[in-house]
Amino acid sequence: QVQLVESGGGLVQAGGSLRLSCVASGPTVSVYNMGWFRQAPGKEREFVAAISYNGGSTNYRDAVKGRFTISRDNAKNTAYLQMNSLKSEDTAVYYCAASRGLLTAHLYDYNHWGQGTQVTVSS
């Protein structure tokens, strides 16, 4: 069973940066693709970024391309989301998730989820 714990959220001014971390535990975490999703109040959870199990492939939603960078360190069982040039519309709870198989942006392909970390961007 994979367990995921996010950290790094907080309050930041528009234009600022944050780095989210997701520490995974379990016997085979290095074979999982890792994804970041977010959910704003009153809205559905949406895909943000994903990275393949070996870090060789990444995928981003258009709204964050050029501002966010996903990465992972398998030696530390940790995935990261570096968020730069933050905007008020990035305000949401950010969730880390793990999936097997093809790299995907579909929420229902992810079997394991963290508890989420709040990111608030003030304008």
Q: How confident is the model at residue 26 (pLDDT cuts 50, 70, 90)?
A: confident
What does the pLDDT read at residue 3?
95
Which tokens hold the place of 10? 């907080």
pLDDT per position as a tens digit, 84-109: 999 999 999 999 999 998 999 999 99
- State how far the Cα of 73 lies from the Cα of 105, in Å rounded to an integer: 20
Tokens representing 74 are: 């398998």
pLDDT digits (tens, 9 = 90+) for 35-56: 999 999 999 999 999 999 999 9
